[in-house]
Amino acid sequence: GQQVMQIPQYQHVQEGEDFTTYCNSSTTLSNIQWYKQRPGGHPVFLIQLVKSGEVKKQKRLTFQFGEAKKNSSLHITATQTTDVGTYFCAGPHRGSTLGRLYFGRGTQLTVWP
Amino acid sequence: NAGVTQTPKFRVLKTGQSMTLLCAQDMNHEYMYWYRQDPGMGLRLIHYSVGEGTTAKGEVPDGYNVSRLKKQNFLLGLESAAPSQTSVYFCASRTRTAILVYTDTQYFGPGTRLTVL
C-alpha cells in the first residue's frame, strides 16, 4: 500500500549545527507538505512543494522535492533552540480528491544549547 | 477567528465508558478529519468528512464513530473505551475550493489527550 517513510526518527544536535530529515514515498506524489509540531502542541503547516525538483527556502529552512517526486528533504542551517519539535512530511492519498494525507512518522529534533 | 477548537483538552476514562470529542471550526471548511497520534506512530486517520451529513472511514476506524450534523462541527465518539484508545486526538479541517493552486493545507486543532484506564 501507499506509504510515506521518514528518517531519522530522532535527531539530537548542538545549537548551531545543521539538521536534515528525509521523506520517501512508495509512489509518485502530486505534492508534499511539511508540518512542525512543538512539544505539547499541534501540527502546524510549514510549506507545500508541487514541482519536480522544487526548492523553497524559509529563512534557515530549505525544502526540496525530488526530481521523481518520490522524496523530499528538510534542511535546517545553524539550528536554534526554537527549532525543537517534531517535523512531519505528508503526501496526498493517491487517487483521492478528498484531501486525505499520509503522514510520515516524523523526526523529533532536540537542540542542546 | 478561533480556527479549529477541540473539547475537552484532557479526559480520563475507565474501560467501557463512552465519551464524545467535539471539534469545531469557524473557517467554513468543507473537509474535516480526526487523527490519533501515538508515540513513534505519526498521525493516523480515524475518520473524515467531506461535507455536512457525510463521513468515511480512514486507516484506523475500529472502535470509533463520527457524525457531521453541522458543517462547522465534527464529533468523534467512543462507545466503549479501551486502553488501546489512550492517545492524543487531533481534529483538522481543509477547504475544498482551491483559491490558489494546490491548497491542500490542513489546519489542526490543539488536541485532546485521552487516557483510558
Domain ranges of chain A: 4-112
pLDDT of residue B105: 84
CA distance B89 to B93: 14
Cα B67 to Cα B56: distance, rounded to the nearest angstrom: 10
- All residues of chain A having their beta carbon less than 8 Å from the beta carbon of residue B108 are 42-44
CB contact under 8 A, B41 and A105: yes
What percent of chain B is predicted at pLDDT more than 90? Answer: 79
- Mean pLDDT computed over B91-117: 82
Report pLDDT for A92: 82
Nearest CB neighbour to B104, from listed A31, A44, A88:
A31
pLDDT band at A26 (very low <50, low <70, confident <90, very high): confident
The pLDDT tens digits of the residues spanning B63-87 come to: 999 999 999 999 999 999 999 999 9
Which are the contacts of B106, defined by CB distance < 8 A and separation ≥ 6?
A: A43, A45, A99, A101, B33, B92, B93, B94
Q: What is the predicted pLDDT for the residue at A91?
A: 87
Cα of first residue to Cα of last residue in chain B, in angstroms, is 36
Q: What is the pLDDT of residues A41-97, one digit of tens each?
A: 999 999 999 899 999 999 999 999 999 999 999 999 999 999 999 999 998 866 665
Bridge-based pairing of strands B87-94 and B112-116 is antiparallel
User: Is A15:A105 a contact under the CB 8 Å cutoff?
Assistant: no
CATH of A4-112, one of 3.50.50.60, 2.60.40.10, 2.60.40.420, 3.20.20.100: 2.60.40.10
B62 vs A31 pLDDT, higher one: B62
